Every structure is written in structure tokens, then in C-alpha cells.
Amino acid sequence: WKESNVEQWDGRNEEGQVVKNGRYVVVIIAKIEDEIATAKKLLAVLK
């Protein structure tokens, strides 16, 4: 990879509210030319 991308999440939902404690599924989709790769990971939010 010539360059990498970093995405940060501030713990807020689409309405701008801080999410509650719990488990969330993170879905990452990357497109390189004509190929698409996906990954799913579990994320725990604990405050």
C-alpha cells in the first residue's frame, strides 16, 4: 500500500448523540479499482 487511510469515530450516532454502552458492529468497506473488500468487527463502548 502506498498510503493508508485512518478513520476515527467520536462515539456519536448519526444524530450526533453519544451512543450508549454496548456492543456495536463496525463494517469497513474498501474499494480498490474494481475490487471491493469488506470486514466486520465487534466494538465495545464502555464509559
Q: What is the number of structural domains in the chain?
A: 1
How many Cβ atoms are within 10 Å of 24's Cβ, its own excluded? Answer: 14
User: What is the distance between the alpha carbons of residues 5 and 29, in angstroms, rounded to a whole number?
Assistant: 12
Which residue did the predictor score with more confidence, 1 or 17?
Answer: 17
Q: What is the pLDDT of residue 42?
A: 96
The pLDDT of residue 32 = 83
- pTM beyond 0.85: the answer is no
- Backbone region of residue 16 per phi and psi (left: phi > 0; alpha: psi in -120 to 50; beta: other values): left
DSSP secondary structure letter of residue 20: P
pLDDT of 29 higher than 80? yes
Q: Residue 1 has what pLDDT?
A: 52
Task: State mean pLDDT over 24-29.
Answer: 92
| Domain ranges, residue 32 | 1-47
Lookup: cell for 23? 456492543
Q: Quick one: what percent of the chain has pLDDT higher than 70?
A: 94
